[in-house]
Structure 1
Amino acid sequence: MFFYLAFIANASLGGIIATTQLIAAVTVHNQAMDTIEILKGLGIDLGAVSIFAFLYSRENNAQIARLSREENLSNLKLRVDEKRTISVNALRGIARLVVVAGPGSFIMEAFERLKPFTEGLIERGVIVVPFATDGNLPKFEVEESEESGVGSEKNKRPWQLVPVNASEWSRYISFRLDGRVRGSGLGYPPWNALVAQLPPVKGMWSGLFDGFDVRV
């Protein structure tokens, strides 16, 4: 977008110069050949301004739509337990959310595929939110932690949150640690890629590259 603005400014400046030259050629020198060449250059400048203004506007609208979607997602509610609900934005800087939506059988299969990567996902702050589109949320056999609460060091439950009024949640959505959406798509979440590519939330690299999680 910066380059679009730079090109618009450059072409606009060229258009201003060409306009002054055109006025001089017509009113002072009265040279037809110069006028034709100046008109060609002015047309190119005006065309460049129009094209880059269109590209800038399109990119700006796309960014606004993306930010609006992420804001709406951040306001969705999650149930921690029978007494406590939180919003998605409460997990910013604490956890990387992966939302898995589909029939109960699909969610159970995603859960089974996650098992070999449980410890690695926990180390990377990944919390999975299951949303059963058919209303049949399966019960997961998970290791109970000695401490409860999101972000607990002893928490061994990647599947611990349930959407509240989450009828608009679909597919799976992977969040960066800083709260931005990393990506979404159809199919089972790539647990192996998450473990392989995401940095742990502890250690010397914790926090340094929170906003630079790779796309998986």
Structure 2
Amino acid sequence: MFFYLAFIASGSLGSLIATTQLISALTNSSKAAAIPEIAKGLGIDIGAVSVFAFLYLRENKSKNKQIARLSREENLSNLKLRVDQNKIISLSDLRGIARLVILAGPASFIMESFRLCKPFTDDLLDRGVLVVPFATDGEMPSLKFEESEDVTNVEKKKLWQLLPVYTSEWTKWLDEQKQMANVPLDAPVYISLRLDGRVRGSGVGYPPWNAFVAQLPPVKGLWSGLFDGMDGRVL
């Protein structure tokens, strides 16, 4: 960006000099023969300034977008979750441990997402996925698997055990993201995070549980660690 500014300044100075020379040639018939050459140089300078100004603005826009994304993710990482009655953590505490999927919508949306998730529960747990259900209408439904003494059912409950606390801060963050994405504030949405805590994907409506299973590598076994950073591009 520094070099873009230097080239813009250089081209602008060249344009100013060429413009002065062109005015002088137009007002002095003895210099008329130099007009084409001066005009050519002026055109080159103006073209160079235009190109480097475009490149600078594009780079600056990209930088501002990156800063906004990092700020968004930093604010997200500071939001609080309740693990159980005695423990509250920040989202940042789960970096490298879990891939969070945040659901935000009315209780009916949460319940239907829970129902659609059931066939993929074991596969999601194998991939380190944990769900954060945020009922925006304040009517958090009861999310329970069938009662059983089977150990796997106990493990399944962990998928939906996280709950947002300080909900006003969650609402503020979600509303800001919806406004940036031109999504209605009352629309139910999901946001999926990578293992490193960065936003991997988002959308309006129900999460694509089957796609998560197909795209995400397991967090245990042979491939653990090798593919931790390959959860998909950052949004």
| TM-score where L is the length of structure 2 | 0.75
Q: Separation in 1 of the partners of 2:46 and 2:159?
A: 60
Per-residue CA deviations over 1:44-83 (Å, capped at 9, x if unaligned) read 0111121111111111111111111111110000001111
Give the structure 2 partner of residue 86 of structure 1: 89
Aligned amino acid, residue 4 of structure 2: I
Q: Give the counterpart of 1:39 among 42, 59, 72.
A: 42
Q: Give the counterpart of 2:4 among 1, 8, 16.
A: 8
Give the structure 2 partner of residue 49 of structure 1: 52
What SS does structure 2 have at the residue aligned with 1:121? helix
Aligned length: 203
Gaps of 5+ in 1: 147-153
Aligned amino acid, residue 126 of structure 2: E
Q: Give the counterpart of 1:59 among 39, 45, 62.
A: 62
CA distance 1:130–1:144, change in 2 (3 Å): farther
How far apart are residue 11 of structure 1 and its match? 5.2
CA distance 1:144–1:76, change in 2 (3 Å): farther
Q: Give the counterpart of 1:178 among 196, 205, 209.
A: 196
Q: Separation in 2 of the partners of 1:120 and 1:41?
A: 61
Q: Separation in 1 of the partners of 2:72 and 2:159?
A: 25
Give the structure 1 partner of residue 219 of structure 2: 201
CA distance 1:79–1:17, change in 2 (3 Å): same
What SS does structure 1 have at the residue aligned with 2:202? strand
Which of structures 1 and 2 has the bigger CA Rg? 2
| TM-score where L is the length of structure 1 | 0.81
Give the structure 2 partner of residue 125 of structure 1: 128
Aligned amino acid, residue 54 of structure 2: I
Select between 8-17 and 82-91 the one with higher mean Cα deviation.
8-17
Q: Separation in 1 of the partners of 2:149 and 2:130?
A: 15
What is the aligned-residue RMSD (CA, Å)?
A: 3.2
Per-residue CA deviations over 1:136-159 (Å, capped at 9, x if unaligned) read 11112237896xxxxxxx833210
Counterpart contact for 2:128–2:219, Cα < 8 Å = yes
CA distance 1:32–1:174, change in 2 (3 Å): same
Extract structure 1 runs of 4+ deviating beyond 6 A: 143-146
Give percent identity, aligned residues only. 53
Give the structure 1 partner of residue 164 of structure 2: 163
| 1:98-109 matched pairs, under 5 angstroms | 98-109=101-112
Aligned amino acid, residue 42 of structure 2: L
Q: Separation in 2 of the partners of 1:7 and 1:144?
A: 67
Q: Separation in 2 of the partners of 1:78 and 1:35?
A: 68
Q: Separation in 2 of the partners of 1:91 and 1:144?
A: 28
Aligned amino acid, residue 91 of structure 1: L
Give the structure 1 partner of residue 178 of structure 2: none
Give the structure 2 partner of residue 149 of structure 1: none
What SS does structure 1 have at the residue aligned with 2:167? coil
What SS does structure 2 have at the residue aligned with 1:80? strand
How far apart are residue 87 of structure 1 and its match? 0.2
Gaps of 5+ in 2: 25-30, 175-188
Per-residue CA deviations over 1:157-216 (Å, capped at 9, x if unaligned) read 210100001332642210001110012121001000000110111123222232221369
